[in-house]
A and B are shown apart, each in its own frame.
Chain A
């Protein structure tokens, strides 16, 4: 029976996830890389990323680069041993975001930023997700709506050879009033003065051209 007050909800609902109030970011960063993966996939499928970059901004105003997938391994050091509370919170946010994107209620705004509030997501989608998380055992199956264990969620290796995170098109300027035509040329001209050897820049440029030519 559900009691009133502090114990109004069963212990394992997402609403009772222990919170660390000393840090406003809580444990949410651990899930951002997963979110980025999902956003990339979903928005690419929808064709929303064609020719532009996007920013991912959480409710704390922290902009997250689209290229953070390599943090995934660092972000979930416990992997499958993550606590149920962590998994529930992650699942809540991911499930909610997945649904929002699917429904089209969440998409990049005019500034190409996707803003989300994990708390709202958790509140909005918590119940459905809780059911999924608790019903799905063993633990690894509770992690994401598509039932992938944390260490089996595919993420792109950093660097060349991997599919691009976002389609950047032929941009020549950044939002901060800095314009250039060729990023490699900028690196080639300015890099050596900042301690990056000219030889490896030239070599990398050659390798990159060979790779792009297949």
Chain B
């Protein structure tokens, strides 16, 4: 067995990604006659990381993101896609998967609702779940205020949410 000190960084990354996969993938084991098998993707394919693992990292990252990611512009929702940017503002991931975008937009709506509730712009709900209808008025009011401060991402993202809502009601 390889000791901890003998492990290279690649080994450590591989172990960490295997652990990550075990935690977040919901793959059930295949039950064989004599054994149970859990299918795991290989971490490295040539010089690159397995797309399956990268995809899972992106999904988990988006599902764990907070309103800060939106406010800081790390995650940007546009009408056609969703982008993840690095600290320098360079796009590193673009997502066009409609189902995933819808999920994230819903998540952002809830987070915006909580944000507005904290600022007492909407009545707080006991379950802290908000839909766009609940926060639309407050959001418009907030947009007017936030144009004076530097929450440009919120303005843009909230506008996208409003546009999406208009498209839905058309």
Contacts and interface: CB of A to CB of B under 8 A. Distances in A.
B92 to A, nearest CB: 6
A177 B92 contact: no
A212 interface: yes
Contacts of A187: 13, 49, 54, 57
B13 A196 contact: yes
Contact of B44 (A160, A194, A203): A160
Contacts, number: 176
Contacts of B33: 20, 23, 26-27
A67 B54 contact: no
Contact of B32 (A23, A167, A183): A23
The B interface, classified by DSSP as helix, strand, loop or mixed, is: mixed
Contacts of A200: 9, 12-13, 16
Given A174-B54, A193-B61, A25 B31 contact: yes
B94 interface: yes
Interface stretch (B34-42, B128-136, B160-168): B34-42
B16 A184 contact: no
Given A183-B49, A194-B61, A176 B97 contact: yes
Given A23-B33, A26-B32, A159-B14, A177 B57 contact: no
Nearest to B85: A189
B7 to A, nearest CB: 9
A78 interface: yes
B1 interface: no
A151 interface: no
Contacts of B92: 180-182, 185-186, 189
Nearest to A191: B57
Nearest to B69: A193
A112 interface: no
Contacts of A168: 45-46, 48, 51
B145 interface: no
Nearest to A67: B42
A184 B45 CA distance: 12
Contact of B54 (A62, A183, A202): A183
A70 to B, nearest CB: 7
A183 B34 contact: no
B123 interface: no
Contacts of B13: 187, 196, 200-201, 204
A65 interface: yes
A29 interface: yes
A20 B49 CA distance: 37
B94 A207 contact: no
Given A23-B32, A178-B93, A204-B9, A184 B49 contact: yes
Interface in A158-214: 158-160, 164-168, 171, 174, 176-187, 189-191, 193-197, 200-204, 206-208, 211-212
A159 B64 contact: no
A77 B50 contact: no
Contacts of B17: 196
Interface string B58-98: 10110010000000000000000000101000001111111
Given A67-B45, A178-B100, 16 more contacts: A25-B30, A25-B32, A53-B45, A65-B40, A71-B37, A74-B37, A75-B37, A158-B42, A159-B42, A160-B10, A168-B45, A178-B55, A182-B92, A183-B49, A190-B57, A200-B16
Interface of B: 8-14, 16-17, 20, 30-35, 37, 39-52, 54-55, 57-58, 60-61, 64, 84, 86, 92-98, 100
